[in-house]
């Protein structure tokens, strides 16, 4: 009997993709029971398990709704959209819906949470806390994630146990740099992928440790292609090497460090 060869997956798991979106933050919209319209918070921060803090003006109707609700909470859903960092016709790459219970934080809790948020990222909007703005927190019950790879359902523990992609905070600058400074790499990829098929544009859509996704636009349609790396990437240099391998460049011609080095200079 022969041995079955273990294959590296070509796409991160749904839990990893969802967790990557929470790590980036995405754009947020709040939908609360009893509120007819979507609410855009002044600031939001998502924790590992999907619990989310939201900064709103202290005269916002949703605060009155929460204060008057039984037990001081209402059912709500936060929608996080993963938006491509470069301008595209269809920029939304994935959506995470986190459903749970929305509560207002007391001043003492709010100050503690604000310090936790500042530890991750400084944001001047938090200076408005207690001076015209208040913090609310969504306590998650479950989450649903959907992107081009499919749809999946998660518990807060599922999200907390997943690791975000190692390039989640680097991706936006890396894709912009590839799009603006390396048209030769993109055209090389287009020729290798599409042959003589004519495309109007080829743009980098997303990148992760396992592969690169491209947005292809021609005169008739818009579609995406995912290219799996030969080996998972863990560092910017490895990421550049995998990209050059996909494009068919040899190490002798360009070296695997060019994109990584160029990116540091920008």
Q: What is the pLDDT of residues 240-263, one digit of tens each?
A: 999 999 988 765 554 444 555 455
Would you list the DSSP string of 104-146? Answer: EPPHHHHHHHHHHHHHH---GGGGGBTTTEEEEEEEEEEEEEE
Is residue 132 scored above 70 in pLDDT? yes
Looking at residues 214-225, what average pLDDT do you find? 83
CATH class of 14-161: mainly beta
CATH class of 171-265: alpha beta
What integer pLDDT is reported at residue 217 of this predicted model?
80
Cβ contacts of residue 18 below 8 Å, gap of 6+?
A: 96, 143, 145, 152, 154, 159, 162
Specify the residue for token string 């749904």.
Answer: 14
Is residue 266 scored above 50 in pLDDT? no
What integer pLDDT is reported at residue 6 of this predicted model?
42
Q: Comparing 82 with 263, which gets the higher pLDDT?
A: 82
Percent pLDDT > 90 in the chain is: 73
Cβ contacts of residue 80 below 8 Å, gap of 6+?
A: 21, 22, 25, 26, 27, 28, 46, 95, 96, 97, 98
| Arithmetic mean of pLDDT over the chain | 89
pLDDT tens digits, one per residue of 135-194: 999 999 999 999 999 999 999 999 999 999 999 999 999 999 999 999 888 888 887 777
Lowest mean pLDDT among 58-62, 71-75, 195-199, 208-212: 195-199
Is the distance from CB of 20 to CB of 166 less than 8 angstroms?
no
Determine the Cα–Cα distance for residues 74 and 72; give it in Å rounded to an integer.
Answer: 7
The domain spans of the chain are: 14-161, 171-265
Looking at residues 30-59, what average pLDDT do you find? 95
Determine the Cα–Cα distance for residues 48 and 157; give it in Å rounded to an integer.
Answer: 9
């Amino acid at each position: 009997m022969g041995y079955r060869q273990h294959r590296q997956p070509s796409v991160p798991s749904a839990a990893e993709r969802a967790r990557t979106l929470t790590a980036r933050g995405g754009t947020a919209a709040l939908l609360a029971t009893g509120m007819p319209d979507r609410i855009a918070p002044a600031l939001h921060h998502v924790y590992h398990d999907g619990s989310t803090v939201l900064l709103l003006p202290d005269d916002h109707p949703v605060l009155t709704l929460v204060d008057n609700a039984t037990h001081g909470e209402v059912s709500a859903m936060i929608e996080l959209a993963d938006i491509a960092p470069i301008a595209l016709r269809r920029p939304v790459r994935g959506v995470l819906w986190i459903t749970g219970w929305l509560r207002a934080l007391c001043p003492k809790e709010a100050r503690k949470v604000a310090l936790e948020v500042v530890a991750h990222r400084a944001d001047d909007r938090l200076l408005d806390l207690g001076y015209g703005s208040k913090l609310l927190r969504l306590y998650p019950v479950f989450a649903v994630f959907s992107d081009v790879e499919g749809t999946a359902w998660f518990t807060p523990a599922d999200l907390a146990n997943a690791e975000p992609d190692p390039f989640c905070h680097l991706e936006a600058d890396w894709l912009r740099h590839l799009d603006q400074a390396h048209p030769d790499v993109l055209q090389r990829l287009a020729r290798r992928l599409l042959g003589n098929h004519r495309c109007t544009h080829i743009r980098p859509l997303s990148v992760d440790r396992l592969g690169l996704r491209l947005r292809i636009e021609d005169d008739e349609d818009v579609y995406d292609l995912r290219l799996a790396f030969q080996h998972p990437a863990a560092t910017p240099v490895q990421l550049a090497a995998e990209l050059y391998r996909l494009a068919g460049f040899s190490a002798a011609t360009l070296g695997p460090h060019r994109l990584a080095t160029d990116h540091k200079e920008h």
